[in-house]
Amino acid sequence: MKTFFKILIGLIILGIFGYTMYYLWEKSQVKPVVFETTQAFETNIIKKTTATGSVKPRKEIEIKPKVSGIIDKIFVTEGQVLKKGDLIARVKIIPNMVSLNNAKARVDRAKIQLKYEKIVYKRQKELFNKEVIAQSNFDEVEINYSNAQQEVDAAIENLELIRDGQTSNAQATTNTLISSTIEGMILEIPVEEGNSVIESNTFNDGTTIATVADMGEMIFEGKIDESEVGKIEEGMPLILTIGAIENVEFDAVLEHISPKGMIENGAVQFEIKAQVELRDDYFIRAGYSANAAIVLDRQDSVVAVSESLLLFEDGNTYVEVETSPQVFEKRKIRTGLSDGINTEVIEGLSLSDKIKKQH
């Protein structure tokens, strides 16, 4: 029995030793390298540069009051579409008390003067009718009486302008009613009822009552780096992507490149503008951030390969093509346009060729 156990233990030790030797031998063997392959494909190659910016209405107007006062009533809301002349708000005039008192005093003085001139006129007219005074003397009295009447009318109109913002004889719409000067959509109403507003004049821009814009014509305004501005020109097509509208592209046409650059964050940037071609199925809001891809060149339906497959030696371009299983040869090709990811192959490669992937 003891002999049996000794033989069994010996066989186990021998088996472990043999397995260990086999495992070490297998690990020492070099495994053959299997290279992955891919093929050329047909695609569109578009070389472009990108500008960042936003979409804005081409025509955007700030509506300002013609008189100073307090917003009495607002008749519209943001997003509402207006026609030219539609009412936006009404301003209640709060007159300056000093000016108001002076205007009232002027009216009183003018009426007193008119009363006096009327008495003189009647007296002199009786004398003139009796041929007591000459025509020239009566003419002077008549002129003074007419001037007194005109002064009363002028003083009353001046009082009405100070107190109400318009005279009672005016034919046009009162200045206290603020109307839209263009047809468009209200983008913003920065004031509320009860806010004080200042009229627009030569010394002050005035308070903005509302911002109205024509949303039927939008433009892209963006900035492009000085290293790219020399590659673009007016009339080039743009592909516009808007952050708020995913997976949708809009066409645009470059129409302006600023002749002067501005330094931003240490780099010179040039402003560009492009007309956006709107689509009926999407509404673009003013101020949307957007990226514009400016198409510098493009080739449609061409044979292309991934740029990572290319080898460059002595000014020439090569790819490694499989001639038999896992056997590759270096083949010279002629390339064309590249977008930084894919490169056009003009000659030297077909769609059926298998190309070695570079690791």
What does the pLDDT read at residue 260?
Answer: 92
Percent of the chain with pLDDT over 90: 24
- Whether 48 shows a pLDDT value over 90: the answer reads no
Question: What is the average pLDDT value for the chain, to the nearest integer?
Answer: 84
Looking at residues 36-61, what average pLDDT do you find? 88
At residue 168, the pLDDT reads 66
Q: Which residue has the higher pLDDT, 24 or 236?
A: 236
Residue with the bigger pLDDT between 36 and 172: it is 36
- pLDDT at position 280 over 50: yes
- Which residue in the block uniquely carries the two structure tokens 């009404």? 90
| pLDDT category of residue 1 using cuts at 50, 70 and 90 | low
pLDDT at position 289: 93
- pLDDT tens-digit series, residues 75-108: 999 999 999 989 999 888 776 666 767 878 888 8
Identity at 149, one-letter amino acid code: Q
Which carries the bigger pLDDT value, residue 14 or residue 44?
44
| Pair of tokens at residue 286 | 């003013």
Q: Mean pLDDT over residues 129-158, rounded? A: 83
pLDDT of residue 28: 63
Alpha helices in the chain (DSSP H): 2-27, 97-129, 135-164, 226-229
pLDDT of residue 339: 84
Instruction: Tell me what the mean pLDDT of segment 269-297 comes to.
Output: 90
Q: What is the identity of the amino acid at 69?
A: G
Position 349 scores a pLDDT of 87
3-class DSSP state for residue 101?
Answer: helix
- pLDDT exceeds 60 at position 30: no
Instruction: Please answer whether residues 182 and 86 qualify as being in contact, where contact means their C-beta atoms are separated by less than 8 angstroms.
Output: no
- Over the stretch 144-201, which tens digit does the pLDDT of each residue have? 888 888 888 888 877 777 676 666 665 544 677 888 999 999 999 999 998 988 887 7
pLDDT score at 172: 47
Residues of the chain above pLDDT 70, percent: 88
CB 287 within 8 A of CB 57: no
Q: With 90 as the cut, is the pLDDT of residue 129 above it? A: no
Q: Would you give the DSSP letter of residue 66?
A: S
Residue 210 has pLDDT above 90, yes or no: yes
pLDDT recorded at residue 351: 87
Mean pLDDT of 212-240: 89
For each of the domains in the chain, give its residue range(s) and CATH number, in order of start: 37-48+300-356 (2.40.420.20), 50-57+215-295 (2.40.30.170), 60-93+177-213 (2.40.50.100), 97-164 (1.10.287)
Q: What are phi and psi of 146, to 5 degrees?
A: -65, -40
* Cα 157 from Cα 237, distance rounded (Å): 59
pLDDT at 288 over 90: yes
